[in-house]
């Protein structure tokens, strides 16, 4: 018996065997050779319609690609313009802020100088003759004119968004000084015209005492404002200004002390003056403590540190040229927004404690606007990188 061939195991799944290139070519040739006339005609029609469709689409794609290139160029031009403009806006903002600060400082100094001038004029008064009184009247007119100019300047400062409360606080002292000066000139003129020589000598010391008293009153008021500012002022950039004011107070205190010593020689009773001197002296020593206990200042210092971080991020975003860094910058924008929210909560807490947070809010707003600007710059960079790399996303 011959051996039965072993049955091969049935193929569970026969996969199609791929054709070789030669087999494929043969198949194609056979197809075309086997075509009847109708099929050949059909193939020719497919060739005609297919080529027309492909050419039409190819033409449109080429046109669109050229348009893309043109649009990208315009986009990049705009982007360059935006960069230049952002720089200009940044510089101008800084200049304006500095200008506002400078303007407020100058007006403040002008008011103090005017008060000082009034004090000096009052000092000259006891020695003035009739011609001198005439000159002093002219000076009084000039001081009145200056007072009006200062008022106009304060109004303008308010118009351009500079806070003037602390400047207004010194105005009553100037106004009172001018009134006092006017009255004193009249009295001096009267004395000169009546000619009471003996009385004049006595009035000299009294006037000096009077002058010193009014000077100390104005100093005491200014000192109260000064300390209040040190406790509530929220702008770290104004600390320098306050320190300068402090130096000014120290100088004035020395002058007061000199005059005080002079008056001691006259034998007048100076107990009241001595009592008035005490608050000024203690105010001078309280300045640093008031500054250290200023909660707002600490808060705005933190805000300014955050603004510095944001500005650095803006510079990074402007220089960014790849998607990885861009992703990090986007995450940073989110983190900075979260920090903003944390600041806002902290502010709310301060407000709930009954504190007036108006002076801090404007700094918080600067931070918020800066973060928004960062977000915009990141978006612009995303556009720029997308356009230049050909990956818009």
Partner 1 sequence: MYNSTRLKYAIETLREMNRERGQISKQLGALRGRCQFREEVIDNLYDYYDVVSGDYYAVVDGLVRSTEAIEVLRDYMRDHHQVIEDQMERMRVMLDQPMKPSQSIQKLEKLTNFVFYMKNNQAGPTP
Q: Which is nearer to partner 1, 147 or 249 (CB)?
A: 147
DSSP state of 127: G
C-alpha to C-alpha distances, 353 to 185, 331, 368, nearest whole angstrom: 51, 33, 23
Q: What is the DSSP string of 281-337?
A: HHHHHHHHHHHHT-HHHHHHHHHHHHHHHHHHHHHHHHH--SHHHHHHHHHHHHHHH
Instruction: Kindly indicate which of the ranges 42-50, 196-204, 237-245, 309-317 contains the residues binding partner 1, using the contact rule CB under 8 A.
Output: 42-50
User: Measured between alpha carbons, how far is 43 from 72 in angstroms, rounded to an integer?
Assistant: 42
Residue 388: other Cβ atoms inside 10 A: 13
| x-or-dash string of contact with partner 1, 136-175, rule CB under 8 A | -------------x---x--xx-xxx--------------
Q: How far is the CB of 207 from partner 1 (least distance, A)?
A: 32
Of these, 9, 323, 383, 388, which contacts partner 1 (CB under 8 A)?
383
Residues 6+ positions from 300 with CB-CB distance below 8 Å: 234, 235, 236, 360, 363
Q: Which residue in this structure is represented by tokens 């983190």?
A: 335
C-alpha to C-alpha distances, 91 to 97, 234, 362, 379, nearest whole angstrom: 10, 23, 20, 21
Under rule CB under 8 A, residue 213 binds partner 1: no
CA 39 to chain centre: 80
Q: What SS3 class is residue 9? A: coil
Q: How far is the CB of 338 from partner 1 (least distance, A)?
A: 24
Number of residues in contact with partner 1, rule: CB under 8 A? 66
C-alpha to C-alpha distances, 375 to 213, 316, 352, nearest whole angstrom: 58, 12, 31
| x-or-dash string of contact with partner 1, 106-125, rule CB under 8 A | xx--x---------------
Q: How far is the CB of 106 from partner 1 (least distance, A)?
A: 5
| x-or-dash string of contact with partner 1, 47-66, rule CB under 8 A | x-xxxxxx-xxx-xx--xx-
User: Residues in the site for partner 1, rule: CB under 8 A?
Assistant: 27-32, 34, 36, 38-39, 42-43, 45-47, 49-54, 56-58, 60-61, 64-65, 67-68, 71-72, 74-75, 78-79, 81-82, 85-86, 88-89, 92-93, 95-96, 99-100, 102-103, 106-107, 110, 149, 153, 156-157, 159-161, 376, 380, 383, 386-387, 392
């Amino acid at each position: 018996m011959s051996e039965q061939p072993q049955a091969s195991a049935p193929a569970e799944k026969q996969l199609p065997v791929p054709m070789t290139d030669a087999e494929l070519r043969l198949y194609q040739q056979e197809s075309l050779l086997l075509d009847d006339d109708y099929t050949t005609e059909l193939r020719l029609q497919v060739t005609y319609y297919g080529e027309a469709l492909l050419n039409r689409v190819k033409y449109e794609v080429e046109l669109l690609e050229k348009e893309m290139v043109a649009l990208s160029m315009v986009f990049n031009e705009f982007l360059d313009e935006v960069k230049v403009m952002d720089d200009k806006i940044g510089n101008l903002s800084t200049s304006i802020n500095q200008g506002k600060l400078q303007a407020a400082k100058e007006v403040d100094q002008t008011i103090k100088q005017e008060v000082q001038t009034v004090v000096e004029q009052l000092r000259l008064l006891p020695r003035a003759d009739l011609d001198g009184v005439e000159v002093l009247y002219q000076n009084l007119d000039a001081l009145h004119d200056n007072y009006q100019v200062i008022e106009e300047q304060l109004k303008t400062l308010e118009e351009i968004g500079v806070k003037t409360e602390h400047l207004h606080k010194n105005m009553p002292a100037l106004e009172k000084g001018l009134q006092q000066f006017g009255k004193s000139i009249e009295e001096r003129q009267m004395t000169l015209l009546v000619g009471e020589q003996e009385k004049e000598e006595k009035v000299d010391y009294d006037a000096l005492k009077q002058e010193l008293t009014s000077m100390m009153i104005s100093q005491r008021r200014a000192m109260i404002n000064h300390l209040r500012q040190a406790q509530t002022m929220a702008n770290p950039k104004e600390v320098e200004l306050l320190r300068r004011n402090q130096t000014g107070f120290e100088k004035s205190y020395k002058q007061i002390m000199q005059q005080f010593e002079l008056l001691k020689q006259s034998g007048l009773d100076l107990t009241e003056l001595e009592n008035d001197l005490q608050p000024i002296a203690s105010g001078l020593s309280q300045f640093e403590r008031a500054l250290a206990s200023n909660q707002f200042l600490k808060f705005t210092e933190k805000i300014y540190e955050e603004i510095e971080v944001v500005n650095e991020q803006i510079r990074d975003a402007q220089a960014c040229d790849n998607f990885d860094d861009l992703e990090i910058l986007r995450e940073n924008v989110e983190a900075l927004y979260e920090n903003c929210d944390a600041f806002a909560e902290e502010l709310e807490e301060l407000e709930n404690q009954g504190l007036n947070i108006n002076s801090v809010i404007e700094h918080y707003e600067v931070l918020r606007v800066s973060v928004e600007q960062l977000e915009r710059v990141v978006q612009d960079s995303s556009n720029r990188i997308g356009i230049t790399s050909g990956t818009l996303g």
